Amino acid sequence: MTDWLDKIKWTEEGLLPAIAQDAQTGDVMMMAWMSAESLALTVETGFAVYWSRSRQALWKKGESSGNLQKIHSMHLDCDGDALLLKIDQIGGIACHTGRRSCFYRILEDDQWIAKSDILKDPSEMYKK
């Protein structure tokens, strides 16, 4: 049943980089890490579950903000060491700053310039 997990080449810490891409628009929303457990939970639940390296804990994306990522399809690369998730981004916001995508800074004239609007105030997103 878990043969598909054995095809994956994990890092030394047992992690796999996972890219979340909006299945409709093609926007790359974020990159995060998955453990075998978080990946299995992702498949089982149909929603993205990552491994938070800072908190060293399972992290169901959107569990605080409500901005869950519904899995559309999962794509493994040729080397088996990177994963692409095509997702439906609930709420339309992936970034904890309230922007749509985490990749909102663009390199221009040797500077990273924030180019995307803040769609929702983070204090609104994370209030209990």
Q: How far is the CB of 27 from its own copies (least distance, A)?
A: 8
Chain contacts with its own copies (rule: CB under 8 A) = 1-4, 7, 17, 19, 21, 25-28, 30-31, 43, 73-79, 82, 84, 95-97, 99, 102-107, 110-112
Q: How far is the CB of 103 from its own copies (least distance, A)?
A: 4
Q: Which residue, 7 or 128, has its beta carbon nearer to its own copies?
A: 7
Q: Which amino acid is at 37?
A: E
| Best CA proximity match to 5, nearest among 33, 50, 37 | 37
Q: How far is the CB of 13 from its own copies (least distance, A)?
A: 10
Q: Which residue, 68 or 93, has its beta carbon nearer to its own copies?
A: 93
- Name residue, tokens 């457990």: 37
**What whole-number distance in Å separates Cα of residue 31 and Cα of residue 84?**
9
Query: In whole angstroms, how far apart are CA 78 and each of 47, 75, 81, 82, 112?
Result: 24, 10, 8, 9, 31
Q: Which residue, 52 or 60, has its beta carbon nearer to its own copies?
A: 52
